[in-house]
């Protein structure tokens, strides 16, 4: 074969290999905002009646049903003020209203949706999130931040190549426009932890594997309790409390190690757990790190840890400027499965912002046999 032909074959091989690798990477990892997920692409003026969107397909990239408003952040008629923490615009869902979008996914894979939402009128507002065959109703009466930045994650398993993601207001208020504010929607394909790392019996013990975090602005991502989610948006872990825990990242917070950690933001109502494999009667060491997220959350903090029949109250005095300490204790397994659980013993708010709930940070959870 002539040298030039060999060169062409070599270049073509590289191109095909690169294309296949790129396609494989795309198949493995979807991690991006949904088209017009920030709602900054507005309906045309002819499809707006003041703030109400007219026409099922008038909101770019989305399909709407019912009374849906296109909101600009700031003062509103009727002495309201809407915080839009990311960008300028958001969507408000009126009585029984919804928005939806078709998303290309891989059947059998697990995904998490990250989205910003907050109530606007009534205390009992809720938001229903669904894909075909799977849904959850998220109560949003509790506000965890005072700037409209409450962000949640919800996980699902894809059963087809295209899923219709729907956000729906299931409530009916006396004022038909009352309903949740929705902004900043993203999707991420989750990688489920299959193996233990360096002898650690805890999967995803450093919380490196979690939902999408918005790069430009983040107040952390609230992970709802497991009774709302059959699939956890934090792979390997169970959110087993009445209130959510918060997933915080290194870019926007102080975390003890790696790129992410968990903030226990709702006291005893905010807990996470994992069931690990153990040998009955064998002794193990449980090690973990606690600290603060450098978010002005101050005071005496206690993280209670449970494993087997043992309990440890780990104390940390926070000055709200970042910092951490590592603690450990020994426990004896009483069966082939051992549940390890962590929760915050106290409720905390930011020092100068009592409307912003916060708490101790948990990271680097490790269990290994005691010799």
Residue ranges of the chain with per-residue pLDDT less than 50: 1-27
* Predicted pLDDT at 152: 96
**Range 221-369 has CATH code 2.60.120.260:** yes
The CATH topology of domain 31-190 is Jelly Rolls (2.60.120)
Residue 114's nearest CA partner among 164, 182, 162 is 182
Q: Where are the domains of the chain?
A: 31-190, 221-369
What does the pLDDT look like over 171-208, one tens digit per residue? 888 888 889 999 999 999 998 877 667 789 999 999 99
DSSP code string of 272-322: EEEEEE--TT-EEEEEEEEEE-SSS-EEEEEEEEEETTEEEEEEEEEESS-
What does the pLDDT look like over 92-106, one tens digit per residue? 999 999 999 999 999
Count of beta carbons in the 10 Å neighbourhood of residue 310 = 13
* Predicted pLDDT at 342: 97
What lies within 8 Å, CB to CB, of 124 at 6+ separation is 139, 141, 171
Question: pTM of the predicted model, to two decimals?
Answer: 0.89
* Predicted pLDDT at 228: 58
* Predicted pLDDT at 28: 54
Any idea of the CA torsion for 249, 359, 348, 355, to the nearest 10 degrees?
20
């Amino acid at each position: 074969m002539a040298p030039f032909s060999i060169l062409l074959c070599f270049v073509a091989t590289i191109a095909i290999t690169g294309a296949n690798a790129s396609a494989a990477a795309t198949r493995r990892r979807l991690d991006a905002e949904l088209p017009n997920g920030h709602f900054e692409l507005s309906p045309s003026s002819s499809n707006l009646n003041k703030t109400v969107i007219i026409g099922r397909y008038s909101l770019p990239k989305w399909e709407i049903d019912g009374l849906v408003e296109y909101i600009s952040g700031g003062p509103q008629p009727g002495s309201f003020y809407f915080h839009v923490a990311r960008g300028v615009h958001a969507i408000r869902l009126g009585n029984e209203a919804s928005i939806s979008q078709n998303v290309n996914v891989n059947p059998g894979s697990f995904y998490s949706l990250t989205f910003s939402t907050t109530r606007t009128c009534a205390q009992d507002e809720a938001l229903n999130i669904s894909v075909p065959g799977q849904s959850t109703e998220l109560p949003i009466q509790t506000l965890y931040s005072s700037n409209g930045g409450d962000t949640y994650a919800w996980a699902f398993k894809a059963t087809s190549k295209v899923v219709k993601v729907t956000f729906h207001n299931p409530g009916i208020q006396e004022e038909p426009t009352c309903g949740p504010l929705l902004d900043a929607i993203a999707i991420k394909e989750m990688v489920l932890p299959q193996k233990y790392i360096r002898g650690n019996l805890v999967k995803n013990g450093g919380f490196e594997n979690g939902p999408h975090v918005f790069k430009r602005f983040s107040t952390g991502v609230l992970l709802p309790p497991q009774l709302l989610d059959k699939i956890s948006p934090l792979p390997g872990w169970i959110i087993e409390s009445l209130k959510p825990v918060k997933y915080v990242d290194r870019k926007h917070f102080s975390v003890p190690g790696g790129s992410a950690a968990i903030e226990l933001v709702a006291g005893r109502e905010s807990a996470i757990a994992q069931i690990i494999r153990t040998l009955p009667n064998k002794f193990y060491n449980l090690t973990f790190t606690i600290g603060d997220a450098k978010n002005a959350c101050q005071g005496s903090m206690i993280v209670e840890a449970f494993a087997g029949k043992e309990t440890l109250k780990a104390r940390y005095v926070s000055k709200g400027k970042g910092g951490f300490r590592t603690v450990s204790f020994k426990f004896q397994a009483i069966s082939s499965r051992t549940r390890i659980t962590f929760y915050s013993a106290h409720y905390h708010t930011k020092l100068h912002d009592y409307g912003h709930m916060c708490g101790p940070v948990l990271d680097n959870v490790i269990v290994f046999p005691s010799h």
